[in-house]
Chains A and B, each alone.
Chain A
């Protein structure tokens, strides 16, 4: 196996962070409902918000989902704004009607939005009341996905954090893996850990309400997503211990993540090698195919999901790209610190956004590939810059060894496509 470059002498861990305040071109936390409702198959997400919220969910879903989806918006109307007591009654009525129509629902999330936060509609009180009314069949929780408090993936963070207080207590010596992954990837992850002899493993969120994990002072926590700061805080407050590691993206990230867990759980080096050698080699091979296109190319990240730093680490160290700017909506140093340390010094690390100024920087730098949201992608393409939609990185399976090649290919595809299109006259 060809070795990866050694960790850089100076990573980006100590690099200054550019913080600008201006227009942010990002989704709000409600968007997380798109993947959370798929992950938790007996959960329903009821946004208490405005027509804008409903329109956002519909637009973010891109194509409408064929079956009746497990999310909806309770649209606040003029009458609800006039008297708050009414809004609570109306909510009770809508929830009762909803649960009657959907007896398969076991968990209901009341999701706060910008308008519900601004009028201070107390959804925690509503959740408590509704939980009592519909117990034991349905548990009602609440969190805020509002754009004044959460950015895109922070919606998942808020949702998972809301679940932590109701998780059962345990003294068991176990491992809790936190962050929503597609089932197929989650199964691969559990398979790798099992092969190393780590058996007592639970996931948050679980696929069904009955499988929710327990938690206690002997629980160790590993995150599979970088945006779970609030959830991590809630877990550690309940006594769980965090295993810090690079995120399991790419061959290097996956190996480092597994190694950190193996160390913690006392897995010997021989077992570790036996389990990981073959998938590591496969991942390297798969990455190499796409890396040929990416080698030496320059990449610029607009802030989107907080996955930017681990992805930049993957693209620079495993695919031979050069990062110009790595923008993240928020940087949780506790979580992405190990990724930042591995990221070779050089790129501008930015947190938050003034989109017009950032666009000026991207235009000046003329990167070979720009990772950005859907609102910016076509306009930048029209200016001659190749782009990759950031949202695809959240919806597509990209974690762990078997997806490492797909992850590299996602970035290579826009460049390959540009090369493939020949629209000029022959001669």
Chain B
């Protein structure tokens, strides 16, 4: 038993729904009680989908238990096939139905459903989670429907991984499709999102696969490699360097592929321009799914000039590559799906910025740390109306804008340093482009009574405390922490103005 306040991932059948909802011509018959229908609103509300997810729930009730839940399932299958006329169905159980052991997969396979493929899913609800559910579902669909076939005459690839409710999947697919077109490579099938069972059947015509989202399509990509003889790309093209690596990887697979144009790429110049100087060495903490965190860490350090002070992921399945990547930054990553643990880690590290999920956005709000969202779980805000990929060259531009936005802007930061005595330039004023209004600085509270209790307590003298307040708010946390560490290391119990500046000189870089 594990206590959870918020979860990063839903149960595995929600992962299966993400695959089914992304596709056309596929229907999911889910043995589940009525409450599980809440999952529909994830798609219709968060993603603003204009139709219901292609899911039929059996919605069995207590009075059905032990009587005819199996029959209920059979009827739901027949009704769904008659009403929606899918090309194929996937069938499975949610957590509750798993306990009553009706074996929906076995039942559906013995039914006469007009000869359409029936793909049973075994998704262990009490062990695994949403990403596993998506990955396993897509794998089962591919395994069932795809078969070796003649390759297309021209070089083509499949894009594997995008699903319903994916973080920026819609625009990433458009961006990478465009990038590949620029290289002279056509996309054969994009799946699961946008594909039908008939499309899955012709996956084998492509020369190779682009594994865009390992979280949801790695098992399928490996199956295709083994059974269809298709190599797949290992680089996720997120960030300038990674996109260039991806291009090289594709060119190694398809020697005749062209170099794509980088005409629209602005991140390198924006990051080099003098206004960006202030980004140098900003300490960032990254958390999300492993793929986005690994890629974002490289962008943060190498393309934005940040310092990566901590990183982690919530999906254990990809903890290994994350650990390998974290070594590059001299870090031990945090692998957990416990929101409170992530909060504690952030609090202890006191980064200047968080690159995280919607959960970390809330943590950041509470701790007063700016946050940009880089990964699922998604929120209605993660489906902007405008074109907003995070992959490819345009994606790199988007990352620059998105990550700079929560911060105080470059020139503004300098002005804050220069005019820090001005009554409008104080903590509560916040970045000027975030709305709200400047309020006059409150009168300084009476100096804290100094009452060091234990021997390990470091006390700020009133004058030092006042001096600390003159330091702009966005670096004050770091200054306080550095000074306290400096004092503690030297056995200094009382921090004076001198201690503050000695610490500053010590940590100068």
Contacts and interface: CB of A to CB of B under 8 A. Distances in A.
Interface in B182-222: none
Interface stretch (B121-129, B172-180, B249-257, B303-311): B121-129
Contacts of B58: 23
Interface string B24-61: 00000000011111111110110011111000111111
A117 interface: yes
A26 B93 CA distance: 18
Nearest to A155: B35
Given A23-B59, A66-B362, A378-B50, A51 B5 contact: no
A50 B126 contact: yes
B3 A51 contact: no
B126 A76 contact: yes
Contacts of A376: 40, 44, 52
A27 B38 contact: yes
Q: How large is the interface on B (under 10, 10 to 19, 20 to 34, 35 or more residues)?
A: 35 or more
Interface stretch (A4-12, A67-75, A170-178): A67-75
A81 interface: yes
A375 B41 contact: yes
Contacts of B2: 74-75, 77
Interface stretch (B7-15, B291-299, B397-405): B7-15
Nearest to A329: B34
A64 B358 contact: yes
A116 to B, nearest CB: 10
Contact of B3 (A23, A73, A147): A73
B125 A378 contact: no
Contacts of B62: 117, 146, 148-149
Contact of A148 (B1, B45, B96, B129): B96
A314 B193 CA distance: 44
A266 B365 CA distance: 54
A77 B35 contact: no
Nearest to A374: B41
A351 interface: no
B505 interface: no
A247 to B, nearest CB: 24
B48 A378 contact: yes
A117 to B, nearest CB: 7
Contact of B35 (A22, A78, A147): A147
The SS class assigned to the A binding surface is helix
Interface string A24-35: 111111110000
A52 B94 contact: yes
Contacts of B76: 23
Interface string B140-176: 0000000000000000000000000000000000000
Given A27-B35, A59-B42, A64-B6, A50 B95 contact: yes
B4 interface: yes
Contacts of B61: 148-149
A55 B126 contact: no
Interface string A245-285: 00000000000000000000000000000000000000000
Contact of A76 (B1, B35, B41): B1
Given A28-B34, A50-B95, A118 B1 contact: no
Contacts of B56: 23
A69 B5 contact: yes
Contacts of B365: 66
B162 to A, nearest CB: 21
Contacts of A91: 1
A151 interface: yes
Interface in A126-150: 146-149
A147 B65 CA distance: 13
Contacts of A146: 33, 35, 62
A22 to B, nearest CB: 7
Contact of A114 (B13, B39, B40, B95): B95
Contacts of B9: 51
B341 interface: no
A54 interface: yes
B386 interface: no
A288 interface: no
Contacts of B379: 63
A90 B3 CA distance: 10
Contact of B34 (A51, A117, A151): A151
A74 B3 CA distance: 4
B356 to A, nearest CB: 13
B121 to A, nearest CB: 15
A143 to B, nearest CB: 14
Contacts of B65: 118, 148
Interface in B64-98: 65, 76, 79, 83, 94-96
A37 B58 CA distance: 30
Given A23-B56, A24-B34, A72 B50 contact: no
Contact of B41 (A78, A93, A373, A381): A373
A78 B98 CA distance: 12
B41 A118 contact: no
Contact of A147 (B14, B34, B99): B34
A417 interface: no
A217 interface: no
A60 B38 contact: yes
Contacts of A151: 34
A377 interface: yes
B49 A379 contact: yes
A67 B7 CA distance: 15
B366 interface: yes
B467 to A, nearest CB: 33
Nearest to B76: A23
- 6 shortest A-B CB distances, which residue pairs? A28-B35, A147-B35, A375-B40, A382-B50, A90-B1, A114-B96
Given A72-B3, A76-B126, 16 more contacts: A24-B34, A24-B59, A25-B37, A27-B37, A51-B10, A51-B129, A52-B35, A58-B6, A59-B39, A64-B362, A73-B4, A78-B124, A148-B61, A148-B65, A151-B34, A356-B79
7 contacts: A25-B40, A74-B2, A90-B1, A146-B35, A147-B33, A148-B60, A378-B49
Interface of B: 1-7, 9-11, 13-14, 33-42, 44-45, 48-52, 56-62, 65, 76, 79, 83, 94-96, 99-100, 124-127, 129, 358-359, 362, 365-366, 379
